[in-house]
A and B are shown apart, each in its own frame.
Chain A
Amino acid sequence: MIDFAASFFYMLPDLNAFTVFTGSNILQYNPSMKHKLIRNATRHFAEMELAPIAAEIDQQRIFPREILAKMKPLNYFGLQVPQRYGGANLDSISAAIVVEELSRICAAVGLCITVHNGVAVYPLLKFADSRQKETYLPLLASGHAIGAFSLTEANAGSDAGSVETTAVKNEESYILNGTKIFVTNGGVCDVALIFALTSLPDKKLQSSVFIVESKYPGFLRGEVEDLCGMRANPVSSLFFEDCAVPESNLLGKLGDGMKIGMATLDNGRLGVAAQALGIAQGAMEAAVKYAKERQQFKKPIASQQTIQNYIADMATEISAARLLLYRACELKDSGAAFGCEASMAKLYCSSVASRVTSLSVQIHGGYGYSKEYDVERYFRDARVTEIYEGTSEIQRMVIARTILSQPVL
């Protein structure tokens, strides 16, 4: 007789009707075999390396450098960078899958990776000249340098045009002065893209983007923020005090700030959507597992119709969110404009993440409100996905503006 029982990690013999498998095809959608293998590889890494530390690095606000060091040779820092610069050359759905699977276990590490790839490396790929690419892409793709993107200021967030940081031309440099806040990866970044006001030849003031290395004199970091969620990511302020940046580090042309910023945010939104989706997936899986284990009234709570309805809604919304995101990714790779679809994906995935994590806490009852269970962390982590990379209100503005600008047939 073949002894199948020997390979069981755990069994729930009385609950076969509710059996769900971590490797299940249910709620997994991989457009191709390659996408599936990318998902499996990331999931394996996240479960082996991140799951054991995710709760601790959240509570202690630890940036997990040892784990990130293991991620560098696996191309996590050069997801979509061509192989000649040391990247993995993945398509956008693959990049989304990677962020999704990291965030399913540890959203703070998912955040580090998506910000590095999505809003620091991506604008270099799209707007940098060949010297800038040769200089910075190998450093960033290998993870030897961690990237950040820095637009937000005390008086400029959703209103990106109100940036007050200045860059004044002085011989072959630009001298930066100002303060950036809430910079993801701010506490550890080696290269940051900084938005600053510049004076154009016609004396008009317009924003431009500069590639700024943290080793330049006058580049200073603030304290790491004590935030509600994503606590393992060193989000901080950056201060520029007469920081001289070589003229050759101007990204794109003088005055291109808004153009580069908007294109970058479109891409960043795909990453945040992927992150939100991963958090929702992780929270739902935790809720399903708990609902099958937790006995009340002498039966698992999963046998209660109310809980089943919660699970059905979570699963349906997550599946819809995933399709919306992958469609936006596909559109991006086709070379078409994808800003509206990226905003839809970001808006929907983040609201799904908030709803699903909230329901997951509800299913866990009192335990869900305790730090003993992961869903408490998922609940806190999900919240910011509705805020950063453009609030849900801004996403609706982008979507409505696109729809209304099209001719009525």
Chain B
Amino acid sequence: MRTAATLALHEPHDRTARHSTYSSVKEEVEPLPKPTHREAIGVATNQLLAGATLDHSIRRTITDFDNVAACLLAMNTHPMHTDYDFAVQSRFEKPLVVSPFLLSCIVAAVTNDLRQLPIARIEIRSLSFIKPVHPGDTISARSVIESAEPTQYVFAVTGAKTNGTEFVRFRLLVKVDDESREGMSS
């Protein structure tokens, strides 16, 4: 609701001001100072060594919106994700998060920390779901580097809820694009 106070903040309507654009504004701008730091997101490539454990920084809550949107985008017809009455009567008693999306979120948590690594291809091996994940659950990921070769990294990834329940375990194979490796780190 508009109050008298907020109305008073508005300038009187000016037709000419409406037509001014950024390109027509000529203002003196101070020269940009020389950068002293460069933001580098994720783990440095030289720290990605076999045996290292990465506790991925991204945690997130999977919402009903995420779940239904991802399910409909993928044209998944299983009622467990979009028919909540059906889900309540199932043995899980609550809707489940559609699994390709859940996997996508976990891989996002891992790869976002591999920002320095020029990924060329991704593969998943021996993935098993241990516990169900419902909309409203907050998930996090942890990975252990099983092998780190110049062209391929293997991560043993675990997805867990914030209460500590592990719900998924898999092996993520990351093939590195050697050609663009230098371009990315510069």
Partners in one complex: no
* B interface, CB within 8 angstroms of A: none
